Amino acid sequence: MTEPALAHATEYGRMYSRSLSEPPTVPSITTVISQGSTSLDGWHSYMAASAVVKDPKLTAALGSPSQLRSVVKEASSASERYRDAAAQRGTRVHFYCEQVALRALDRPHEVERAREDLAARGEHQFADRFDEWWKLYDVQPIAPEITVWNAELGYAGTLDLVARIGGRLCLIDYKTKNTDRDGQVKQLDDKVVMQLVAGMKAQESLVDAAAGTWEPWAYGQDPLLLGVAVGQTEVRPMRANPDVLPQHWFKFCALRRVWQTSIDAVAAGRALLPVPPPPVGAHETPAPQAALPETADPQTSVPAGAPQP
């Protein structure tokens, strides 16, 4: 997948601008969805433990604290390495899918280079299975990698493909997936429905990034929303259930508010302030004043009837 020209990495996540000459102003669809991410602590722990067990240096490191520390240090970043490798592979597969669509539209493309790039890493099966799916479903591309904008809610994103399949308009999002033990591509996450419905609810699509030209979104009226899992053994398209789209749109809207509220909370100032110790002696209770005798004259402090000095 090519990097959208208007997308920027910022401290608030990935954000989009209206043109190449303007700063980013709205979050990406994926950044909004990430506000609802669940904890991956268990997965990180499993990846680290698995890396230790599989490390060929483990046997030699036993009995050597310094070598064991080296093994543990390397294993601690196993999940990050896996994540980064998966992201790079996903970029290569998405790029190939985009080039296939460009070729079908008789536009300049790099299909051969994209396939060679996959083959050089032993990933050519992704391209093989994708080609089979493309032909079997007779995909008729309309717009690959199209950037969309919603000004009312405030977000933007890039859809992998707008196409017609079986005469039906489709918004498509590709997900590169591994294969399970049964040889089937792994299931898509339900979050893809939020991603697709946010694309469907766009108001504009990009015409020219340099000029900042946009046009009304032409493909949001009752499209078929498809999440397409691209694996080495098969390609599995999954349709978003139309009955649940309102709920997933409401969830996306709520997460957009979470993103904004988080920024507002940071901008409001420091959340925690230091508390200095109290001044010396401030904890001591002042001594009570002596009470006057009940018969004392408040004017003279001399008991009534006593001789005057």
CA 197 to chain CA centroid, Å, is: 16
Provide the whole-model pTM.
Answer: 0.77
pLDDT at 209 over 80: yes
Q: Which pLDDT does position 171 carry in this prediction?
A: 98
Q: What is the mean pLDDT of residues 222-242?
A: 97
Nearest 10 degrees: Cα torsion 168, 171, 176, 180? -50
Per residue in 12-68, pLDDT (tens digit) is 999 999 999 999 999 999 999 999 976 545 544 544 556 555 667 756 666 677 766
Side chain identity at residue 94, one-letter code: H
Residue 177 in tokens = 């997936």
Residue corresponding to tokens 């489709």: 170
Per residue in 84-143, pLDDT (tens digit) is 677 899 999 999 999 999 999 999 999 999 999 999 999 999 999 999 999 999 999 999
Q: For a pLDDT cut of 70, what percent of the chain falls above it?
A: 76
3-state SS assignment for residue 304: coil
pLDDT band with cut points at 50, 70 and 90 for residue 302: very low
Per residue in 144-202, pLDDT (tens digit) is 999 999 999 999 999 999 999 999 999 999 999 998 888 899 999 999 999 999 999 99
Q: Which pLDDT does position 87 carry in this prediction?
A: 81
Q: What is the mean pLDDT of residues 276-304?
A: 63
CA 207 to chain CA centroid, Å, is: 26
Q: Are strands 168-176 and 224-230 parallel, antiparallel or unpaired?
A: parallel
Residue 20's alpha-carbon distances to 103, 107, 213, 220, in angstroms, are 27, 23, 11, 25
